[in-house]
Amino acid sequence: MTDKPSSQPSGRSGRRSSRKPAAGKSEPAGNRAAAASRSKKPPQTDLSERQLGDFLLKRLLGRGGMAEVYLAEQLSLGRQVAVKVLRTSQLSDADDVMVRRFQQEAAAAAALNHPGIVQVLSVGCVDGLHFIAQEYVDGINLREFLSRKGPPSVPLALRMIRQIALAVQAAGEAGIVHRDIKPENIMVTRRGEVKVADFGLARLTHSEELVRLTQEGVTMGTPLYMSPEQVNGKPCDLRSDIYSLGVTSYHLLAGHPPFRGETAVSIAVQHLNSTPPPLAETRNDLPPAVCSLVHRMMAREPEERYQTAADLLVDLRKLLRADRDDPDSLSKVQLDNETPTTEFQWKQHLRPVLLFCLVTALFSAGIGWLLRPGDPLRTTPPSSTYKVFQHETAAEQYVEALVLQNEAGWRAVIDNFKTRADERYRMRALEQLGILLLRDNRLEEASRRFHELELAGTNSQEMRLRGIAGQALVLNRQGRYQDSQTKIDQYERQAQGRNRGDEQAGELREMLNAARESNRGYLSGSSPAG
Q: Is 302 helix (H, G, I), strand (E, B) or coil?
A: helix
Q: What is the pLDDT of residues 211-249, one digit of tens each?
A: 333 333 334 446 788 888 887 777 889 999 999 999 999
Q: Which of 380, 296, 274 is nearest to 341 (CA)?
A: 296
Helix (H, G, I), strand (E, B) or coil at 456: helix
Q: Which helix (H) or strand (E) holds 216?
A: none
Tens digits of per-residue pLDDT, 152-167? 999 999 999 999 999 9
Instruction: Confirm if 329 and 319 have CB atoms less than 8 A apart.
Output: no
The CATH number that domain 139-350 falls under is 1.10.510.10
Q: What pLDDT, on the 0 to 100 scale, is given for residue 211?
A: 31
**Which amino acid does the sequence have at 182?**
K
Q: How many CB atoms lie within 10 A of CB 58?
A: 16
Residue spans per domain, the chain: 29-135, 139-350, 353-523
Q: Which residues are catalytic?
A: 180
Q: What is the pLDDT of residue 313?
A: 95
Query: What letter does residue 112 receive in the DSSP assignment?
Result: -
pLDDT < 50 positions in the chain: 1-43, 93-94, 201-221, 339-354, 362-385, 499-505, 529-530
Q: From CA 367, how far away is CA 227, in angstroms rounded? A: 22
Distance CA 134, CA 146 (A): 25
- Give how far Cα 394 sits from Cα of 274, 419, 427, 452, Å: 22, 10, 11, 19
- Distance separating the N- and C-terminal Cα atoms of the chain: 30
Distance separating alpha carbons of residues 357 and 372, to the nearest angstrom: 22
Give me the pLDDT at residue 353, please.
46
Q: What is the pLDDT of residue 368?
A: 39
Main-chain phi, psi angles of 524, to 5 degrees: -85, -5
Helices 443-456 and 461-477: angle between axes, nearest 10 degrees? 160
Handedness of CA 377, 84, 163, 151 (dihedral sign): positive
Residue-level pLDDT at 403:
65
334: burial class by Cβ within 10 Å (0-12, 13-18, 19+)?
exposed
128: closest CA among 262, 16, 258, 243? Answer: 16
| Superfamily, domain 29-135 | Phosphorylase Kinase; domain 1 (3.30.200.20)
